[in-house]
Structure 1
Amino acid sequence: MIDLRSDTVTRPSDAMRLAMSRAEVGDDVYGDDPSVNLLEQEAAELSGKEAALFLPTGTQANLVALLTHCQRGEEYIVGQKAHNYLFEAGGAAVLGSIQPQPIDAAADGTLPLDVVASVIKPDDVHFARTKLLCIENTHNGKVLPLDYLQQAWVFTREKGLALHVDGARIMNAAVALNVPLSTLTQYCDTLTICLSKGLGAPIGSLLCGSAEYIKQARRWRKMVGGGMRQAGILAEAARYALLNNVERLREDHDNAQWLANALSAIGVEVMAPGAQTNMLFLKVPAHEAAQLGGWMKERGVLMSAGPVTRIVTHLDVSRSDLEKLVSLWKEFKQSINTQSSTTASKAIYG
């Protein structure tokens, strides 16, 4: 199957599996796993932070980040469609009694700072204390501009807020801007890096921040069930991903851009701004959207089809796979047109 639903469907390469099989391991809860320790050290250096923490999932990494930043009854400001608000089962509210204050993102994926300022709560017993601003980079495949990151950093210093970046695809952002990761992460207190999306590891995320912050986060990780033992096998997959699979993200970006042009040429509506990274959003007429997913699946293509269809390129999707997709989509549109003509004829002639 050609799986275009998400870059989470990637599978470890043979080289990654070999690295995993050779991993030195120990008990990570005791701090004895050399592969985990090396990964955390390298991730801290890569992000320009003092320390890093290896967690099993991006959802747990974001949860631990919020629990470490905010106490019960405090608040974080976040995008209305951000992953750590909308798609993580309300964990911060349920498990941390942390209040989210969602706002709408701008068209470019940023959270407008004037709107952020307007929802910061005054120092009054009636309100939750606003402690944290969370932004997402990339957001629906959109790369947050460098000047915005700098402005958000200055803004949060002035307002007394911490700044956390959900960096599930932050490596895609760095590659798209052609800058080192630290150029982006100098403008935040903490960030997460997901390893199991475009980077191709089977599991894992990193939380990066100050040494004191990560010390507290390690306690929260244990509390929410993230204490791991011989996790070096997974850490070596993560190290392989960071060493070998970052620059190759350009291939995914190029493939997404190629696909945007190819689909547009056959009459598929590509939504603005097109493909900045490895995500493409398409506007599909309702009568086509109802049939598209099943029709493609029967022909070996998996996608999240709907009136807005998201396609995600990744290391397990080749240019030839995308050429096949375009050919199939053209065939699909022809079949839809034939159906419409037949229906119209029946209506006229009975």
Structure 2
Amino acid sequence: MIELRSDTFTKPDKAMRQAMYDAELGDDVYGEDPSVNALEAKMAELCEAEASLFVSSGTMGNLLPLIILGGRGKEVILHENAHILQHEVGGVAAVAGTLPIATPGERGILSAAAVKSRIKENDYDMAHTSLIAIENTHNFEGGSCWKKEQLEELSAFARSKNLPIHMDGARCFNASVSTGISLSEIFSHCTTANLCLSKGLGAPVGSMIVGPKDIIEESRRWRKILGGGMRQAGVLAAAGLYALEHNIQRLAEDHHNARVLAECLKQCSWAQVDINRVETNIIFIETPGLDARKVEALLLEKGVRVIATADQEIRLVTSLSVSAEEINSACRIFRELKISS
């Protein structure tokens, strides 16, 4: 079966499993797990951040900064299709107590002008803006990346308003590889960021929060409050360390494979795809006049897993779990697929 639903389906390879087996362990709640400590130090170094924190998921990696920087009765400005808003079970409101303000932006990018139009500052009977949240890459805008000048514009505006920026960087490694902008430069425009280890990097579990030392220490407290304190977590941290050391630059292969798939799908009568929107490892195609779930089911019968995201829309995601040979096989299946409306 060729797995193109998400890069969350990646599994640790033999070398990563060996690293997990060999991991030095301690009690991370006491700060004594050497593997977790090494992972947190490595991530902080990569981002040139003061500190970092290992958490169980990307959702927690976003939620903790929302609690600390957002705050109850305040507002966070974010894109209308942001993962935080649409796919994290309403935690921004239910747990952080922060009101999300959905904001339009081309391909998931928030301009300073768009953010300015949403800011509330002085009215006593309105929730005041406390945070800006961005997403890089932007999942449901097709894996789009923030460009250097876009980050510079928004961060300069945020500083002028004394507003922090949190980045949902679940796939920020993909953004860095695609744009050539280092993780440290990307993070220099943010206050905090969440970076996943369990997507394109292939670790089984985990995400990292990076930021100032005081915010990371407060995040550690909130992690405990939310039941996220882990004991001998070095077994998982070792996988993350292995991923950081071996699986970042190879993301370019996933991006290439996504372009190969998109070029193939462009030639298929049942699909429409904009090649120029394929920047990283995520592809969205339209199925005009066809039920996307029917197309999904037909492809499943042929041995390809994709996911329908709307009535006439399908998402495909490449990852290290899909080889070049499997990409070629998927292309053959796409070309041979016969569908009647």
Q: TM-score range by the shorter chain?
A: over 0.9
**Does residue 317 of structure 1 match 2:337?**
no
Q: CA deviation at 1:272?
A: 5.4
Contact 1:271 1:283 (8 Å CA) reproduced: no
3-state DSSP of counterpart to 1:77: strand
**Does residue 291 of structure 1 match 2:294?**
yes
User: Residue 232 and residue 150 in structure 1: after superposition, are their counterparts in 2 closer, same or farther (change >3 A)?
Assistant: same
User: Residue 202 and residue 90 in structure 1: after superposition, are their counterparts in 2 closer, same or farther (change >3 A)?
Assistant: same
How many residues end up aligned between the 2 structures? 335
Structure 2 Cα separation of the partners of residues 209 and 242 of structure 1: 18
**Does residue 307 of structure 1 match 2:312?**
yes
User: Residue 315 and residue 153 in structure 1: after superposition, are their counterparts in 2 closer, same or farther (change >3 A)?
Assistant: same
- Larger deviation: 84-93 or 286-295? 286-295
**Does residue 229 of structure 1 match 2:234?**
no
Unaligned 5+ runs, structure 2: none
Deviations, residues 69-92 of structure 1 (Å, cap 9, x unaligned): 122111111111101111111112
Structure 1 Cα separation of the partners of residues 289 and 323 of structure 2: 29
Among 247, 251, 254, which residue is 2:253 paired with? 251
**Does residue 282 of structure 1 match 2:285?**
yes
**Does residue 66 of structure 1 match 2:66?**
yes
Could you say which structure has the larger radius of gyration? 1
- Larger deviation: 191-200 or 306-315? 306-315
Q: Which amino acid aligns with 2:112?
A: L
- Larger deviation: 31-40 or 174-183? 174-183
What residue in structure 2 maps to residue 183 of structure 1? 185
Structure 1 Cα separation of the partners of residues 53 and 149 of structure 2: 28
Contact 2:200 2:319 (8 Å CA) reproduced: yes
Q: Which amino acid aligns with 2:228?
A: G
Contact 1:4 1:303 (8 Å CA) reproduced: yes
TM-score by length of 1: 0.93
Q: CA deviation at 1:171?
A: 0.3
Q: CA deviation at 1:290?
A: 4.4
3-state DSSP of counterpart to 2:52: strand
Contact 2:200 2:320 (8 Å CA) reproduced: yes
For the aligned residues, what is the CA RMSD?
Answer: 1.3
Q: Which amino acid aligns with 1:285?
A: P
What residue in structure 2 maps to residue 99 of structure 1? 99
Q: CA deviation at 1:105?
A: 2.2
- Larger deviation: 279-288 or 1-10? 279-288
What residue in structure 1 maps to residue 124 of structure 2? 125
Q: CA deviation at 1:109?
A: 2.2
Q: Which amino acid aligns with 2:127?
A: A
3-state DSSP of counterpart to 2:166: strand
Contact 2:259 2:275 (8 Å CA) reproduced: no
What residue in structure 2 maps to residue 138 of structure 1? 137
What residue in structure 2 maps to residue 198 of structure 1? 200
Contact 1:260 1:274 (8 Å CA) reproduced: no
Structure 2 Cα separation of the partners of residues 290 and 58 of structure 1: 27
Q: CA deviation at 1:119?
A: 1.1
3-state DSSP of counterpart to 2:117: helix
Structure 2 Cα separation of the partners of residues 28 and 154 of structure 1: 37
What residue in structure 2 maps to residue 109 of structure 1? 108
User: Residue 4 and residue 116 in structure 1: after superposition, are their counterparts in 2 closer, same or farther (change >3 A)?
Assistant: same
3-state DSSP of counterpart to 1:270: coil
Q: Which amino acid aligns with 1:295?
A: L
Structure 1 Cα separation of the partners of residues 290 and 184 of structure 2: 46
Q: CA deviation at 1:122?
A: 2.6
Q: CA deviation at 1:328?
A: 1.3
3-state DSSP of counterpart to 1:76: strand
What residue in structure 1 maps to residue 89 of structure 2? 89
Q: CA deviation at 1:36?
A: 0.4
Structure 2 Cα separation of the partners of residues 248 and 44 of structure 1: 21
Q: CA deviation at 1:288?
A: 5.5
Structure 1 Cα separation of the partners of residues 182 and 146 of structure 2: 15
Q: Which amino acid aligns with 2:14?
A: D
Structure 1 Cα separation of the partners of residues 203 and 87 of structure 2: 21
Contact 1:257 1:274 (8 Å CA) reproduced: no
Deviations, residues 291-341 of structure 1 (Å, cap 9, x unaligned): 211111112111113511111000011122121112112221xx32xx57x
TM-score by length of 2: 0.95
Structure 1 Cα separation of the partners of residues 294 and 229 of structure 2: 45
Deviations, residues 37-57 of structure 1 (Å, cap 9, x unaligned): 111011111011100000000
Q: Which amino acid aligns with 1:303?
A: V
